[in-house]
Chain A
C-alpha cells in the first residue's frame, strides 16, 4: 500500500497537486465552519464541543488530497477508466457541502435566494452534517483502497 502511494507521489506534479488540494480544502472548510476567522482579525479556535467536527474536516481534506491525485495518475499515466475518479470527487463534494450552509453567510444566501426550498436544503445539510461527513469519509476510504488495488494490478507492483 505504501509502495503504491509512493509510486504516485514520487512524481512532483502529483505531490504538488495533493498539497494544493489539501490546503485549499482544509482552509475553505475551516473558514466556512467558523474555526478560522479572517475579519476583523485573523484568528483560529476550536470551540468546546466542536472537536469531532474539526477531526472530520481534517480527515476529508487528507483523504481528498490522497485519492484525487492517485486517480488522476491512473487516468493520465495508465489510461484507466474515470469511474473511481467520480467516486473521489463525489466523496469530496459531499464532505464539503455537509454543514457548509448552517447559519452563516452561505446558509443565509441560500435561504434568501431560494426561499422555503433553500431553507429545507439548509436544514437538511445542517441537521445531518456529521453523518454526511462520515459517509463522505467512507466513500473516500473505499475509493482509496480500490485505487490502491487497481494500481497494484495495473502497474504490477511486487509486494
Chain B
C-alpha cells in the first residue's frame, strides 16, 4: 500500500511539475489586435498592418511565404506598379497574410515581421526580407541569426526584437494565418484576393500587373 502511495505521489508531483513547466515556457501572446478585421470572406485580423489608405475601396489580400521565389518575382515585378497606380493613389490598400509552408525557416521569418511590427517597422522588415531572399529554401538566409541581422540593419531595439523572436511570441499568429489560407482555398504562394466594394476575385500565382489592373479597374 505504501509503495503504491509513493508511486502515485511521484506521478502526481511529476504531472504538476510538467504543467508548471509547460505554462511557464509557453509563449506569452499578449498583443492587441482587432479580431473583427475581415476583408471579404477572409479574416485578416492576424495579418499585417494595412499598407495604404485603410478606407480605399479595394483591398488586395496577399498570401505569401518569405522563402517563395514566385513571391519574390511578384514583389519585384508586379508590386511596384500596383504601389504606384493603386496604393499610393488611394484606390487600393494591401494586407499581407502569412502562408508559411515551404521550409523550416519560413514560419520564423514570418514571426520576425511581427516582432518588427512591435516597433512599428513591419513593412520595412517585410521589404528587407524580399530584398534579401536567396534562391535556395532553408539555405540559412532566413535563420534566426540572419533575421536578427535584418532587424539590426533597420535600427530596431535588439533586446526587444531578440526576446520576441526567441520566445516565439507570434508562432500561433502564423499558424492562424496559414489556416486562413487553407480555409480560403489558397493552394500555393503567392495567392491573392482582390476584395472590392461588391465582390472578391481570387488570383493564383505571381501574375503580371495587367491582370490586377483589369480586375481592379472593373471594381472601381
Contacting B189 at CB < 8 Å: which of A39, A49, A103?
Answer: A103
- Using known A-B contacts A108-B101, A126-B137, A127-B135, determine if residue A50 contacts B73 with beta carbons closer than 8 Å: yes
Within the complex, what minimum Cβ distance (angstroms) separates B187 from chain A?
4
A-B CB pair tally, cutoff 8 Å: 79
Are A127 and B188 interface neighbours, CB within 8 A? no
- Using known A-B contacts A107-B188, A123-B137, determine if residue A40 contacts B215 with beta carbons closer than 8 Å: yes
The count of chain B contact residues (Cβ–Cβ below 8 Å) is: 33
Tier of interface size on chain A: 20 to 34
Interface of B, helix, strand, loop or mixed by DSSP: loop
Are A127 and B139 interface neighbours, CB within 8 A? yes
Are A105 and B208 interface neighbours, CB within 8 A? no
- Using known A-B contacts A40-B203, A108-B187, A119-B103, determine if residue A48 contacts B76 with beta carbons closer than 8 Å: yes
- Using known A-B contacts A41-B214, A107-B188, determine if residue A126 contacts B205 with beta carbons closer than 8 Å: no
Contacting B77 at CB < 8 Å: which of A47, A105, A119?
Answer: A47
In this complex, the member of A49, A102, A104, A119 whose beta carbon has the largest number of chain B beta carbons within 10 angstroms is: A104
CA–CA, A127 and B134, complex, Å? 10
Q: Does A159 contact B (CB under 8 A)?
A: no
Near A by CB (< 8 A), chain B positions 57-95 give 65, 67-71, 73, 76-77
CA–CA, A103 and B204, complex, Å? 11
Q: Does B201 contact A (CB under 8 A)?
A: yes
Contacting B103 at CB < 8 Å: which of A47, A104, A105, A123?
Answer: A123
Are B188 and A43 interface neighbours, CB within 8 A? no
- Using known A-B contacts A40-B211, A123-B103, determine if residue A105 contacts B73 with beta carbons closer than 8 Å: no
Q: Does A79 contact B (CB under 8 A)?
A: no
Chain A positions within 8 Å of B4 at CB level: none
Within the complex, what minimum Cβ distance (angstroms) separates B214 from chain A?
7
Are B206 and A34 interface neighbours, CB within 8 A? yes
Q: Does B219 contact A (CB under 8 A)?
A: no
Are A49 and B76 interface neighbours, CB within 8 A? yes
Contacting B69 at CB < 8 Å: which of A37, A102, A122?
Answer: A102
Within the complex, what minimum Cβ distance (angstroms) separates B153 from chain A?
23
Near A by CB (< 8 A), chain B positions 115-172 give 135-139
Chain A positions within 8 Å of B67 at CB level: 103
CA–CA, A39 and B204, complex, Å? 8
Are B188 and A108 interface neighbours, CB within 8 A? yes
Q: Can you name 8 extra interface pairs (CB under 8 A) apart from A40-B215, A103-B102?
A: A34-B207, A47-B77, A48-B76, A102-B68, A119-B102, A119-B103, A126-B69, A127-B136
